[in-house]
Amino acid sequence: MILRRLALAVTMALAPIAAHAAEPTQAQKDQWAKEGEERLHTDWAWLGKYQAANAALSARGKEPRVVFMGDSITQGWFDQVPEFFTAGRVGRGISGQTTPQMLLRFRQDVLDLHPAVVQIMAGTNDIASNTGPMTIEQTEANFRSMTELAQAHGVRVILASIPPSSAFPWRPGLAVTEKIKTINAWLKQYAAETGSTYADYWSALQDGKGGFRADWASDGVHPNKAGYAVMIPIAQKAIREALANPVPKPIAIAAKP
């Protein structure tokens, strides 16, 4: 029963991105729920989603590689504005994912691609308890782990704010606005402490009350094309700032005798 509820939560989080052009049918929702529950048993972090794409990725070109690690907001960015993902930008978002799932696939979908920069955008689904209840401290710990892993491998880090929201459609009644603000304040401080870059999408997208501006979102959580148009210059500025930072010193691991 618990797994079924988790699968349903993930399915409802997936729906706005998977069918942003049309309202999904009940048959589609049922199929996504079935697939989601099966995946919870067979590939919890969905490591299989990008394995082929990672293997096919060409060697780095002249432009520094930037990997965008995230959830539905990152996946929707790639789906709706694919032209942004040029010049070495690689989208690795998976709808509905939480920070523990991203941490599990961080080596495969970020480190093994040898980027110069990674943007980490997460937290919405932690607040929504998509893979089970989580405290703010647990979310922060996963951000710490991903940042430390990146920097240990010489990858500069952009910590993206959680976008604004006043409510999650798949979790009616859940208070979210203040939790988002709390995590974002911590992310900004932690970025400064670790020499990372903070990308403040929240301030640009919020409606003055902590919610998402209605004309820039499809459902109060996920940006539409107008919302992504607002986010792009923020991302570009963050990438420039990150690349201007010194390369973190990789951890040297001695070879076995």
Longest dimension (CA), the chain: 61
pLDDT tens track for 123-146: 999 999 999 999 999 999 999 999
In single-letter form, the type of residue at position 153 comes to H
The two beta strands, 117-121 and 66-70, are parallel
Question: In the prediction, which pLDDT does 120 show?
Answer: 99
* Per-residue pLDDT, 215: 97
Going by C-alpha positions, the residue among 160, 159, 141, 174 that lies closest to residue 223 is 160
What's the pLDDT at 253? Answer: 65
Q: What's 173's DSSP letter?
A: T
Model pTM score: 0.88
Give me the pLDDT at residue 69, please.
98
Domains and their CATH numbers in the chain: 54-244 (3.40.50.1110)
Task: Give pLDDT, residue 10.
Answer: 53
Query: Is 95:75 a contact under the CB 8 Å cutoff?
Result: yes
The owner of tokens 């952009």 is 158
Structure tokens at 230: 């607002």
E-only strand ranges, the chain: 66-70, 89-93, 117-121, 156-160, 197-199
Q: Per-residue pLDDT tens, the chain, 257 aa: give them.
A: 444 445 545 554 555 454 444 566 877 766 767 777 777 778 899 999 999 999 999 777 788 999 999 999 999 999 999 999 998 999 999 999 999 999 999 999 999 999 999 999 999 999 999 999 999 999 999 999 999 999 999 999 999 999 999 999 999 999 999 999 999 999 999 999 999 999 999 999 999 999 999 999 999 999 999 999 999 999 999 999 999 999 998 876 665 65
CB count, 10 Å around CB of 140?
Answer: 18
CA 73/CA 66 separation, integer angstroms: 17
